[in-house]
Chains A and B, each alone.
Chain A
């Protein structure tokens, strides 16, 4: 026990984000490698930016849903992957964000049951959604900070069910069982909908899906950069030390309770923003969207992507959230997926089976997930140079098999 901790501490805890990929590249080619990376990044950015001119609405919608998932997954990854606190409550905090948004920015109405709304600008709704979700996380953090590992996992499970109950009960705010519609987003008079103002770029009408696509990209990028910088800074290192050994962290002067509470809050704020995007992407919120399934989905994303890796969370989120949508769209042409009502495996089930299996395989064979698979490649041609730089990746992977003790 004690020697694993010392091994982990002896090595500089390289932030297991996308950094190893870039650092590996720069190690190999010096300045040339870095330029290559930059060119590749710029090309990817350009492709993403002009995409709305070429692809149809389905892909843009899927992309926006992915952006929301990316933000949520990065947030959960900070908590589970980086700090090692298993949480199944992510769906609850997504719900808090989504509901705050529709309540603050939505209009009052409802025929059978009265629904309230404050009709404030959507930007206020979005910011408040993030803040309130963060506060909810902070409220739960006295429990979270006291509990260890698996006890936290199950306690947070309770939060999801309590959230479900609240969503169904507080009808004036949430719309009750049937939910309520989400107001369209707008920014200083620019509406993210099909009109007002009508917009054409290069002859392509820029409707709701095109505008939301850019919103999603911008927010996801901001979320990514924030998390990456957080991990490279002092708090990030503290969180990783917390995961590896609480005792060691405390001895080094890390305020264990304080950091646990704060990372819970940050993770919940991410979830809140993801919830707002979810509401925008679906167009409405209903209690059943925020059930335990959603928490498990997010856990699947970060496990598949690679625990502790920000880039991995992005990959996992895209994979898990796009899979069922794509299956649904192309159900007719996929051999193993049947149309709804045909008896066989339908699109949603096929996607669930696939990522359920993927989780099992990842835990068994590649604990560092998709990020680990990608990272492995550049290491092969230079086995000698990899020794000092690649070592921190293996022990700091939280899924890795600890020393057999």
Chain B
């Protein structure tokens, strides 16, 4: 029972981080119809920027500047590349982000080299215990921050002008544009939000129990893909649910690995994808995604 609760708590924290990434993914898709395959490298960039900046400027200024820088990269990509291809097919936009991803990852991997950069979190690697259930302080804070950010996001999404504009744009871009909504601005803001969320997720992903900034981080971030797909690409609520489901399943598979040895070691890293494929078999547009209707 102790193990179960401890895994649940840890899974929840991992899921919260995934949800942050998946949320950015969903927002981008909603606002600009782009499936951003560069989200993993955006996260890697965020973690790298935070590590470098906080080493020279101190932790908090480093975090703030790092998050801003990542949001800036998102904005840059949207303004320079995505915005030019408004109306292009989803696949060509996806391929474009793959190209950007290759560039970013290659450059970051080269800069990081073989060493592991560490972010000096003020909370360090301490553990918190609730009775017998333990979790690292980093992951506990991650749950809190993710909860705050996600609620703030949903509030903004529901009540602010930008949120309304974005939902209108996602519903029917043409009509929204006719009503005076500036689609370019909506999409730019979505990329900024997604970049910032990815950087925050990166900040927690490089803290204990995971090691510091290393190129493998991108693979971890990729597991947020299944999270977004599982919930339904165009559903922000789905991203949250998907993130939690993926985080919890992954942690449980890792925790009970000894009972699942017939799948082989390290199966937990594959689990998100297995879950995703199973869900897609039953519901091709994810759990909460809009079903694609075809009108003739």
Contacts and interface: CB of A to CB of B under 8 A. Distances in A.
B5 interface: no
Nearest to B84: A364
Interface string A42-63: 0000000000000000000000
A157 B102 contact: no
A148 B264 contact: no
Contact of A356 (B103, B233, B272): B103
Count chain B CB atoms within 10 A of each CB in A147, A360, A367, A401 and give the residue with the most: A360
A363 B274 contact: no
B229 A401 contact: no
B285 to A, nearest CB: 7
Given A151-B229, A170-B264, A363-B96, 11 more contacts: A86-B95, A151-B280, A155-B280, A158-B274, A162-B270, A166-B264, A168-B266, A346-B110, A357-B99, A359-B96, A360-B103
Interface stretch (B85-93, B136-144, B155-163, B203-211): B85-93
A155 B294 contact: no
Contacts of A146: 280-281, 284
A399 B276 CA distance: 28
Contacts of A345: 110
Interface in A277-300: 292, 296, 299-300
A148 B289 CA distance: 13
Contacts of B102: 296, 300, 352-353, 355-356, 359
B93 to A, nearest CB: 8
Contact of B265 (A154, A164, A169, A400): A169
A130 B198 CA distance: 41
Kindly list the 5 A-B residue pairs having the minimum CB-CB distance in the complex, ordered from nearest: A158-B273, A359-B99, A169-B264, A356-B102, A356-B103
Contacts, number: 150
Contacts of B274: 158, 162
B69 interface: no
A398 interface: yes
Contacts of B176: none
Contact of A86 (B85, B87, B94, B233): B94
A359 B86 CA distance: 18
Interface in A348-405: 349, 352-353, 355-360, 363-364, 367, 398-405
Given A352-B102, A359-B96, A401-B85, A157 B266 contact: no
Interface string B74-109: 000000010011111111101110111111001101
A298 to B, nearest CB: 11
Contacts of B81: 360, 364
A365 B42 CA distance: 24
A165 B270 contact: yes
A359 B92 contact: no
B264 A151 contact: no
B292 interface: yes
20 contacts: A86-B91, A148-B292, A150-B233, A158-B277, A159-B273, A161-B269, A162-B273, A164-B270, A296-B98, A296-B102, A349-B109, A353-B103, A356-B101, A357-B103, A358-B99, A359-B99, A363-B92, A367-B92, A398-B92, A405-B87
A390 to B, nearest CB: 20
- The range of chain B's interface size is 35 or more
B222 interface: yes
Interface of B: 35, 81, 84-92, 94-96, 98-103, 106-107, 109-110, 174, 222, 225-226, 229, 233, 263-267, 269-270, 272-274, 276-277, 280-281, 284-286, 292, 294, 296
B225 A148 contact: no
Contact of B106 (A80, A143, A147, A353): A353
Label chain B's interface by main secondary structure: helix
A359 B270 contact: no
A345 B84 CA distance: 30
Q: Which label, helix, strand, loop or mixed, suits the secondary structure of the A interface? A: helix
A157 B224 CA distance: 12
B267 to A, nearest CB: 6
Interface residues on A, range: 35 or more
Given A146-B281, A157-B222, A360-B100, A84 B87 contact: no
Contacts of B101: 356
A349 B106 contact: yes
A247 interface: yes
Interface of A: 2, 80, 84, 86, 142-143, 146-151, 153-155, 157-159, 161-162, 164-166, 168-170, 246-247, 251, 292, 296, 299-300, 303, 345-346, 349, 352-353, 355-360, 363-364, 367, 398-405
B87 A402 contact: yes
Contacts of A246: 294
Nearest to A367: B92
Contacts of A166: 264
A143 B277 contact: yes
B119 to A, nearest CB: 24
B106 A352 contact: yes
Contacts of A401: 85, 87-89
Given A158-B277, A360-B81, A165 B87 contact: no
B91 A157 contact: no
Contacts of B96: 359-360, 363-364
Contacts of A150: 35, 90-91, 94, 233
A155 B277 contact: yes
Nearest to B29: A150
A355 B106 CA distance: 11
A13 B99 CA distance: 29
A404 B87 contact: yes
